[in-house]
Amino acid sequence: MATSTRLTRSNAAGWAFVLPGFGLMAIFVILPFVFAIALSFTNQRLISPNPTQFVGLTNYQELLGLGMITLDSERDDAGQILRDDAGAAQFPRLRDYTRNNPEFPQINGMREWLSWGNDDRRTYLLARDVVFMKAIVNTVLFVLVVAPVQAGLALCLALLINQRLRGINIYRAIYFMPVVVSIVVVSLLWRFIYDGNDGLLNTLLNGLTFGAFQGRDWLGSAATALPAIMVMSIWQAVGFHMVIWLSGLQTISPTLYEAADIEGASKWQTFRYVTWPGLRNTAVLILIVITMQAFALFAQIDVMTNGGPLDSTQTIVFQAVDRGYGKQDISGGSAISVILFVIVLSISLIQRYLTRDRT
Amino acid sequence: MAAITGDNHRLRLVVRYAVLTLIAVIFIFPLVFMVMSSLKPDQQLLADTGSLRAFLPVGDIGLDNYREAFARAPVGLFVFNSMLVTAVTVVLSLLICSLAAFSFVFLTWTGRGVILSIILATLIVPFETIAIPLLLIASKLPWIGAEGLTFGWLNSYRVQIVPFIADGLTIFLFVQYFRDLPGELIEAARVEGATWMQIYTRIVMPLSGPVVATAAILKFLVMYNQYLWPLMVVQQESYRPVMVGLQYFFQLNIAWGEVMAYLSLITVPVLAFYLVLQRAFIASIASTGVKG
């Protein structure tokens, strides 16, 4: 640190150096962000005949409103549960409660998100905006899977690439290659891999199982679409984090490894007690970077699935763009942006707290 | 390892290379598929995805797809636009962000801590979430050009360049790097009567090769691959960048051979450039990545 040069204040020079950069950021990053917060409390649309009005928290209530209702199954006069042809218990229609029912004003306009229970009674979790709820769940799932898996795989690759072998640079260069390719291009290419008829993945699995594997449409089914996008996203970005791990590995002094070798430490012990402690700072950085990137999941969805099938790949950022730009509902899109910011900020504060230096 | 016999050693070596190669195949096969497919007629391209032929230049091979891609869209113009926007942004970004970082690290001024915190806080705001308010702002901004004072930046190069010149990540990279430079050098120069500008141009920047390279690479990748923003702000063909140009190939019936040719055209030059410089590329990112 250059603390010793700070003997004198130099306000004029200091501001002069910072101003071009900070000025640009103020106009093009901070102002839009403040704008987003302000717009989220209005009913602004891109083109609207009506003047913009302050609507308070309405946008947030529309997005985040949740309700719950428990219903008893319908019974005949003898008290037997009514069943449909398939044998499932009959319940009163949910919409009788959520559409203009004066006895249940708090769940008016909500739709079913999840339900659980038995034949006697079911509990319904209702949401004002089911698609957005799914977007939140999908995004969190994406982060929870991609952050640890990608960080772990990147570390494995870094350890693999950190060996002294002839030609290792070629392998390192290849592993990093997808990072250089646009995510839009990558997403288009992977559509061929995941294709339902004769996709490359189906062909490969079919060959490996000698024809036992029946092809499936990876992006076309709600169960596999999000995992497919997770795999592709990891494939694209893992090389970058490999390089960051590599830089961490190279800061560990070779004498530590020599000492471990002399002590007769096993490979695992060497990793556990020499390598891993030396990678602490790198680990923190990588986890934070991947988490941020994962929360911003957008281009893959836009190119590959558009949020489908059955909203199984909706994400928060995709929703923000879809509403604000696609549907021209600027205030709704802005509210989503603010919600995302609050989520990411909370998580980064939690991460910072958990990974703080305890020494 | 010293106790391992020669045969055993050789076997282990073979296994290592086999593992490395298998992983390499996983990382490279979609790109091989892209280039090979760009050489094939549509019908064969789609039929080949059912076998290993997808990765081989076999069958009816030719450059027809490339010819048709050029006929369908002004590919050269799109590449030029992207290169221009990318180059100008990278250069201005390096200059302006390094100046700001210089001030944060070496100068003392009122408000320094607060401003730096604000800039670092922007790192957690994904661009997509401010894109729409930014669009509203950009559509009203003034500009003084050949036609005098005009309002609205849509359909221009500047709308693709100016908002991306200063960003938190680039400033952060420079700040990290500058903090590790020897403070005595700067102190000595001050004592000798050098101005801050002289210190920046003669001492600090000449020592900053690795961080300049890293920041340039990361900015290049972001800018060349811009997708959502130009989609929103550039409706005129004359300013379109490469990723938006893709739309030309997704009309009613998609000619996949042409798509692959276009993808190859916009990707292979960057890949080639990367492969030539890969050693410096990776080394510079690694050296500025983190302090262990």
- The 3-class SS string of B2-20 reads CCCCHHHHHHHHHHHHHHH
- Residues A219-249 as b/e (b if ≥16 CB within 10 A, e otherwise) read beeeebbbebbbbbbbbbbbbbbbbbbbbbb
pLDDT-derived band of residue A33, with 50, 70 and 90 as boundaries?
very high
Distance CA A26, CA A32 (A): 9
In angstroms, what separates the C-alpha of A318 from chain B's closest C-alpha?
A: 9
For the complex shown, is ipTM > 0.90? no
User: In the predicted model, what is the mean pLDDT of residues A37-62?
Assistant: 84
CB < 8 Å to B103, chain A: 13-18
pTM for this one? Answer: 0.87
Q: Which of A188, A252, A334 has the CB atom closest to B132's CB atom?
A: A334
pLDDT for res B289: 58
Query: Which residue is closest to B224 within chain A, CA to CA?
Result: A182
Domains of chain B, each with CATH number or no CATH = 1-62 (no CATH), 76-248+262-289 (1.10.3720.10)
Work out the percent of chain A whose per-residue pLDDT is above 90: 31
Domain A131-354 has CATH 1.10.3720.10: yes
Q: Which of B16, B24, B162 has the CB atom closest to A174's CB atom?
A: B24
Secondary structure of residue B166 in the 3-state scheme? coil
Query: Which residue is closest to B108 within chain A, CA to CA?
Result: A9
pLDDT for res B5: 62
In angstroms, what separates the C-alpha of A92 from chain B's closest C-alpha?
A: 41
Q: Which of A180, A299, A333 has the CB atom closest to B270's CB atom?
A: A180
DSSP secondary structure code for residue B143 in this structure:
E
pLDDT per position as a tens digit, A257-288:
889 989 888 889 999 988 888 888 888 888 88
CB < 8 Å to A345, chain B: 124
How many Cα atoms sit within 13 Å of B43 on the Cβ side? Answer: 2
Distance CA B151, CA A98 (A): 48
For Cα atoms A326, A327, A331, give the angle at the middle one, nearest 5 degrees.
110
CB < 8 Å to B135, chain A: 325
What is the average pLDDT score of chain A? Answer: 86
pLDDT-derived band of residue A359, with 50, 70 and 90 as boundaries?
low
CATH 1.10.3720.10 residue ranges for chain A: 131-354
Work out the percent of chain A whose per-residue pLDDT is above 70: 97
> Cβ contact (<8 Å) for A2 and B122?
no
Distance CA B292, CA B281 (A): 20
10-residue stretch averages of pLDDT, chain B, 292 residues long: 65 91 93 92 84 82 90 92 96 97 92 92 86 90 84 90 94 90 88 91 91 89 91 90 89 84 91 83 72 42
Distance CA A219, CA A223 (A): 9
> Cβ contact (<8 Å) for A324 and B278?
no
In angstroms, what separates the C-alpha of A310 from chain B's closest C-alpha?
A: 23
Query: Which residue is closest to A249 within chain B, CA to CA?
Result: B292
In angstroms, what separates the C-alpha of A345 from chain B's closest C-alpha?
A: 7
pLDDT for res B152: 86
What residues contact residue B151 under an 8 Å CB cut-off, 6+ apart? B140, B141, B142, B143
**C-beta separation of A5 from B186 below 8 A:** yes
CB < 8 Å to B134, chain A: 28, 32
Chosen for mutation from B4, B38, B129 (greatest number of chain A CBs closer than 10 Å) is: B129
Which of A102-116, A156-170, B278-292 is least confident?
Answer: B278-292
The answer, yes or no, to whether residue A103 has pLDDT greater than 60, is yes
